[in-house]
Structure 1
Amino acid sequence: MTRWMARLARTAVSDDWDSYLDDNGGKPASVQLDLGIARSTPVTGYDSVAWLRVAMRMPTLDGLSSNKEFQDIKQIGDAAVAAVEDDGAAIFVGRVTTGGQRMFYFYAMDVEHVSRAATQVMQQFPAYQFAVGGKSDPQWNTYWRVLYPSAAAQQRMSNRDVLRALAERGDDHDTPRIIEHFAYFKTAAGRQAFISAVEKQGFAVRLGDPNPQGEFPLLFSREDKPAAIDSITDGLVPLIDENQGVYDGWGCEVVK
């Protein structure tokens, strides 16, 4: 391990971590990842993905982590990350909790280093079953396909931020009110096709003039509960995408 490589690893790692819930073959999955490192991938020299899989002893009924063993699982994760990342030998990029297991993902120059370090750490936790593994992944496909959120998941993360901001102002998320949504389309035809679909769902629409980038804006609104926003955007985002558009968020008044 050279000092240059260690410095490279520290530079690539970001403070922009976030989490989201997703579906994993019909089972809920909790994902936490370094979002900011996406701007640096693939990181030179870290051409292999390696993982540590830990079987939880007391997961919830839906296979996620429970409060009963929160501290134990946290200690395992903290110890494993510290050991594996030592001297810049690997980069911790995220974890997935699903089906009663937690997977820790690293990008490394040497999979064997990760396996040895993780195995040594797990000797401190004999009550937990675990497995280690890895493979060549120079394009960081595992990061993008397993950890990185889909467009719908990214929108749910954004929804969470807006709901938090509303809550800080005393909002009652269960009270219906007009919620406005915004989108941009590459073509007027795509925008019109989307309008035809959402008007059937009770949305009122207001067209905007093309912007300097040649995009066709649209504001559309409907009375809904903010508490139901995830199910609403889960339907809107793919429909907008199908019509060559980009969803640009939503807003509403605070209702107490």
Structure 2
Amino acid sequence: MQEYWELYMKNLEGKPASILFNAGISMEMDAIKYIYPQIAFVKVKLKEPNEKGLLSEGEQPEITYLEDKLEASLIKFRIGKYVGRVISDGYVTFLYYLQFTYNWQDFLEYALDEFESYEISSGFQEDSEWNYYQKLLYPSPREWQIIQNHKVCEQLKAKEDNLHLPRAIEHKAFFQSEYKKDDLIEQLLEEGFKVQDEISNEEGYKGISFYRIDKPFYHDIDELTLYLIDLLETYDAHYDGWETSIVKS
């Protein structure tokens, strides 16, 4: 299985949640989900959550050590794969898909023998369709876009870009069907975008590129791209990301 981890924030039952998950598994899930048919969890009550119910900076080293011990135990007993972690409402929940369950208790005892001061619960159940991975850990298209937005923002910051300075931001869209293409272009022009070239992707879908002067700062670009996702969907088009030039102070 590929190891490719992503971290993002989402709203979970009305409360902020930090989600860490192995995105690489999604590319192999159909081949492995029947090998690891049980979902298992280890849920730890945080001693010092921050005001949002998330992991505080002071408690992070101990929780990281606990996470490492669980990972070492998983390797020792060879019972499954670590797929993600959810931190929300004062708890951190580690999630695993198991091939075997007969030595689950041995796994727990080996991993958690140093953490008696924590309130910890655990368990497992059947999940051969990997619903917990797909519906809890895996991001929606809108959440994926935010992940990609922030990656680009971090890359720009690393090159000393001033994210608050407006500049041309170019976007791409591809059509599922083109019968609403002219209507979409008209709508984009009304909203101040300039439509550039007709493009196509590797799958042969046709699309357009368009740009407008905007700020690429985190909150601004999130609001804009989420709006474009919804707008393009009404015109049978798929949003395919953005790019911009570096602008320093």
Name the TM tier (shorter chain). 0.7 to 0.9
User: Structure 2: 5+ residue runs without aligned partners?
Assistant: none
Structure 2 residue 52 is matched with structure 1 residue 62:
yes
Structure 2 residue 239 is matched with structure 1 residue 251:
no
The answer to which of 82-91 and 203-212 deviates more is 203-212
C-alpha RMSD of matched pairs (Å)? 2.2
CA distance in 2 between partners of 1:25 and 1:239 (Å): 27
Structure 2 residue 9 is matched with structure 1 residue 30:
no
CA distance in 2 between partners of 1:212 and 1:112 (Å): 47
Sequence identity percentage: 30
Number of paired residues? Answer: 244
Match in the other structure for 2:227: 235
Task: Give the TM-score taking structure 2 as reference length.
Answer: 0.88
The answer to which of 89-98 and 153-162 deviates more is 153-162
Q: Per-residue deviation at 1:213? A: 5.3
Are the structure 2 counterparts of residues 190 and 54 from structure 1 closer, same or farther at C-alpha, using a change threshold of 3 Å? Answer: farther
Are the structure 2 counterparts of residues 245 and 92 from structure 1 closer, same or farther at C-alpha, using a change threshold of 3 Å? Answer: same
Q: Per-residue deviation at 1:193? A: 4.4
Deviations 1:171-214 (A, max 9, x none): 10011112111111122234344445444543333351667855
Q: Per-residue deviation at 1:80? A: 1.5
Q: Secondary structure at the match of 1:75?
A: helix
Query: Residue 151 of structure 1 is aligned with which of 137, 141, 148?
Result: 141
Q: Per-residue deviation at 1:95? A: 0.7
Q: Secondary structure at the match of 2:40?
A: strand
CA distance in 1 between partners of 2:202 and 2:83 (Å): 38
1:173–1:226 CA contact under 8 A, matched in 2: yes
Task: Give the TM-score taking structure 1 as reference length.
Answer: 0.86
Mapping 1:91-240, distance limit 5 Å: 91-111=81-101, 113-114=103-104, 116-118=106-108, 121-206=111-196, 208=198, 215-227=205-217, 228-240=220-232
Query: Residue 9 of structure 2 is aligned with which of 21, 37, 43?
Result: 21
Q: Per-residue deviation at 1:159? A: 1.3
CA distance in 2 between partners of 1:176 and 1:203 (Å): 14
Match in the other structure for 2:28: 40
Q: Per-residue deviation at 1:112? A: 5.5
Higher helix share: 1
Are the structure 2 counterparts of residues 212 and 60 from structure 1 closer, same or farther at C-alpha, using a change threshold of 3 Å? Answer: closer
CA distance in 2 between partners of 1:116 and 1:236 (Å): 50
